Amino acid sequence: MPPTAIVSDTAAEPALVILPTYNERENITRIVAAIVAQEPDFHVLVVDDDSPDGTGALADELASTRFPGRVHVLHRDGKRGLGTAYIAGFRWALARDYAYIFEMDADFSHDPADLPRLRNAVRSGRGDVAIGSRWVGSGGTRNWSFLRTFISRGGSLYARLVLGIPVSDLTSGFKCFSRRVLESLDLGEVRSNGYAFQVEMNFRCHRRGFRIAEVPIVFVDRRVGKSKMGPHIVGEAMLVVLRLRLQSLGLGARPR
């Protein structure tokens, strides 16, 4: 179903916030309400991987009763991963008339109040992609251990040095893309499916010549629910960075 008509100064440029979910029942109602409260032209697409806790059914209720026309739900069979959830969301958005497409966590680690700031960074021409960055300016984290901070900052530095991308927070999952960026990428070529997906998307945008702006944010560790971060995610990200570097040197299938 295409976006409904919005009466506002940005009616011709609706935005879609993609929320991948797996067992986020405790968060979904509040996060969706907080997003649609930001701007009248912000829509939400919940991409649910058949959550056993009923997240998908609750999202359907929000779409049909509380926020009809502004909240949409895409159901997928089984737990299929973060990267494929975003790719599915991108394709859904591009099949409709959204001008700005966001990535965002569903657990309040990302503050919905920062969404307009990210869009303004793209709308004003600062970048074709805007990243909510923890490692620039007034950005930072809250409730993180030293080890987690070290791994996150070290991982971003490692990816930046290996891939040559002038971005401080390459693993951030809080982003705003202009429509033309996603239209220009071959989404079928994106292979990463965990948190390394963020690095690969940045890499592909950079190689296509798109400007990436960093907007300082404070990342707050999830309030409720269980974190999906694990050691395997770090290992996957390191391997993906090496693969992308080899591809950039012509030693593998070249990213488009």
At 69, list the tokens.
């026309």
Task: Report how far residue 37's alpha carbon sits from residue 197's, in angstroms, rounded to the nearest whole number.
Answer: 29
Tell whether 210 is covered by a domain: yes
Strand, coil or helix: what is 88?
Answer: helix
Q: Domain span at residue 210?
A: 15-248
Strand, coil or helix: what is 36?
Answer: helix
Handedness of CA 50, 94, 222, 40 (dihedral sign): negative
Distance, first Cα to last Cα, the chain: 30
Tell whether 77 is covered by a domain: yes
Strand, coil or helix: what is 214?
Answer: strand
Tell whether 154 is covered by a domain: yes
Query: Cβ distance 90 to 208 under 8 Å?
Result: no
Instruction: Write the pLDDT tens digit of every residue in 164-181.
Output: 999 999 999 999 999 999
- Each residue's pLDDT, cut to its tens digit, for the chain (256 residues) gives 444 333 344 457 999 999 999 999 999 999 999 999 999 999 999 999 999 999 999 999 999 999 999 999 999 999 999 999 999 999 999 999 999 999 999 999 999 999 999 999 999 999 999 999 999 999 999 989 988 888 888 888 889 899 999 999 999 999 999 999 999 999 999 989 877 999 999 999 999 999 999 999 999 985 554 555 555 666 677 788 888 888 877 766 554 4
Tell whether 132 is covered by a domain: yes
Tell whether 153 is covered by a domain: yes
Tell whether 9 is covered by a domain: no
Helices (H) and strands (E) in the chain, counts: 8, 9
Instruction: Write the pLDDT tens digit of every residue in 130-157.
Output: 999 999 999 999 989 988 888 888 888 8
- The CATH number linked to 182 is 3.90.550.10
Tell whether 10 is covered by a domain: no
Query: Cβ distance 220 to 109 under 8 Å?
Result: yes
User: How many domains, the chain?
Assistant: 1
Q: Which helix (H) or strand (E) holds 26?
A: helix 25-36
What residue type is assigned to position 70 of the chain? R
Tell whether 5 is covered by a domain: no
